[in-house]
């Protein structure tokens, strides 16, 4: 099956002439910069200077990431969280009120929200009872107007990794783009699909600095894909989509990879401790296996428990209204002390 990206891109974008920013035209760093209407005197802040526009293509961050992920710079896109590439993919490939995408509930809510905002139809193919893909059903749900399939692995909110071979089957059997969202990949032993980029021209892999790296506040997401997909993402994005503070703090973080790995080990150890304790309670009806930094737990009286926890200032995520998640609460792994507060509160609730 030959893959033709141009066939998928919304026709009017193929010849779009993108905005050319001042910093795109002159790449040097020395000189008198009178090109971008910035304030040459500085910033109206107590400290720091932010008066100059940031690097629109985030070259330094991408170079560090390239070394870390073994992916060439030209296959890396950075955005304002993963949310930005998710939204861009809909806007690039899906014609409003004509095209559709496939998702596999229960899954991350942003795919549907971005699709709805852009007026793109959603086709749902639920995961199995044990939260695995149904690759044959997914491929038979494809219509001539299906442009994107979103797969989240490890999956939010269930926490488990999806089977590698099932994902491969979908990538190989679909003539549109398959987006594999790996927001939680650092917590998993599963191999990243980044390693398969050169094999699959229809693959986009998403990762983020929001979870394992502890930088949710900075809003920095990554997309990895072919040079052709990069070209269109870069053409459509806001010119300065990643601010300079985020870029410099990301560079700092990328010098501390071992600190990220230490955090990951700690969080996974805490998750295992939490799982061991939760497994002993009879009010826990099901503990879903997790490959991430959270656990989906089916509780007796889940709605009452959730409300009680909020009243006691322990905030979890109720998933009780989500398909296949009856009576389930999603709890993020906290510090040892935070997890103890959570466990004590649920014990108190059920002893009443």
Ligand X SMILES: *Cc1c(COP(=O)(O)O)cnc(C)c1O
Residue ranges that bind ligand X, judged by CB under 6 A: 81-83, 108, 152, 156, 181, 183, 208, 210-211, 216, 221
Cβ at position 4, least distance to ligand X in Å: 28
Tokens of 158: 């269930």
Cβ at position 322, least distance to ligand X in Å: 14
Among all residues, whose Cβ is closest to ligand X?
Answer: 81
Which letter does DSSP use for residue 201 in this model? Answer: T
Cβ at position 187, least distance to ligand X in Å: 11
Which residue stretches of 204-292 are H helix?
227-236, 244-254, 257-279
**Could you tell me which residues come within 8 angstroms of residue 195 by beta carbon, excluding any fewer than 6 positions away?**
70
Burial class (CB in 10 A: 0-12, 13-18, 19+), 292: buried
Q: Which is nearer to ligand X, 84 or 99 (CB)?
A: 84
Cβ at position 125, least distance to ligand X in Å: 17
Q: Which is nearer to ligand X, 87 or 327 (CB)?
A: 87
Q: How do strand 76-79 and strand 294-299 relate by DSSP bridges?
A: unpaired
List the one residue out of 205, 218, 291, 225 whose CA is nearest residue 254: 218
Q: Which is nearer to ligand X, 146 or 153 (CB)?
A: 153
Q: Which is nearer to ligand X, 181 or 327 (CB)?
A: 181
Spatial separation of the C-alpha atoms in residues 239 and 236, rounded to whole Å: 8
Cβ at position 280, least distance to ligand X in Å: 28
Q: How do strand 317-318 and strand 328-332 relate by DSSP bridges?
A: antiparallel
- Under DSSP, is residue 218 helix (H, G, I), strand (E, B) or coil? helix
Cβ at position 323, least distance to ligand X in Å: 16
Spatial separation of the C-alpha atoms in residues 265 and 273, rounded to whole Å: 12
Contact yes or no for 225/92 (Cβ under 8 A): no
Is it true that the peptide bond before 38 is cis, omega within 30 degrees of 0? no
Q: Which is nearer to ligand X, 216 or 279 (CB)?
A: 216
Q: Which is nearer to ligand X, 108 or 131 (CB)?
A: 108
Name the strand (E) or helix (H) holding 181: strand 177-181
**Could you tell me which residues come within 8 angstroms of residue 42 by beta carbon, excluding any fewer than 6 positions away?**
49, 51
Which residue stretches of 73-197 are H helix?
83-93, 109-117, 135-141, 164-173
- Under DSSP, is residue 340 helix (H, G, I), strand (E, B) or coil? helix
Q: Which is nearer to ligand X, 146 or 246 (CB)?
A: 246
Cβ at position 107, least distance to ligand X in Å: 7
Cβ at position 156, least distance to ligand X in Å: 4
Q: Which is nearer to ligand X, 82 or 202 (CB)?
A: 82
């Amino acid at each position: 099956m030959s893959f033709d990206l141009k066939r998928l891109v919304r026709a009017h974008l193929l010849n779009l002439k993108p905005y050319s920013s001042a910093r795109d035209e002159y790449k040097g760093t020395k000189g008198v910069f009178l090109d971008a209407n910035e304030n040459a005197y500085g910033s109206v802040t107590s400290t720091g200077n932010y008066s100059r526009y940031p690097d629109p293509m985030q070259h330094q961050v991408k170079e560090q990431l390239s070394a870390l992920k073994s992916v060439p710079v030209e296959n890396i896109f950075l955005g304002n969280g993963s949310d930005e590439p998710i939204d861009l993919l809909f806007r690039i490939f899906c014609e409003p009120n004509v095209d559709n995408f496939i998702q596999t509930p229960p899954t991350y809510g942003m795919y549907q929200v971005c699709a709805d905002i852009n007026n793109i139809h959603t086709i749902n193919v639920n995961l199995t009872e044990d939260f695995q893909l149904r690759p044959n059903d997914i491929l038979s749900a494809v219509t001539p107007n299906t442009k994107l399939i979103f797969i989240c692995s490890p999956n939010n909110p269930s926490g488990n990794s999806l089977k590698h071979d099932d994902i491969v089957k979908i990538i190989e059997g679909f003539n549109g783009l398959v987006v594999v969202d790996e927001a939680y990949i650092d917590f998993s032993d599963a191999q990243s699909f980044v390693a398969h980029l050169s094999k699959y021209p229809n693959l986009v892999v998403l990762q983020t600095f929001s979870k394992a790296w502890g930088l949710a506040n900075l809003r920095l997401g990554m997309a990895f894909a072919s040079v052709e997909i990069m070209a269109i993402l870069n053409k459509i994005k806001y010119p300065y989509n990643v601010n300079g503070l985020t870029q410099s703090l990301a560079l700092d973080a990328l010098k501390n990879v071992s600190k990220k790995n230490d955090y990951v080990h700690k969080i996974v150890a805490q998750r295992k401790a939490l799982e061991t304790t939760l497994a002993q309670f009879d009010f826990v009806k099901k503990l879903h296996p997790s490959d991430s930094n959270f656990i989906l737990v089916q509780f007796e009286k889940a709605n009452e428990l959730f409300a009680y926890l909020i009243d006691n200032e322990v905030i979890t995520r109720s998933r009780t209204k989500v398909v296949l998640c009856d009576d389930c609460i999603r709890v993020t792994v906290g510090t040892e002390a935070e997890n103890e507060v959570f466990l004590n509160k649920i014990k108190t609730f059920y002893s009443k």
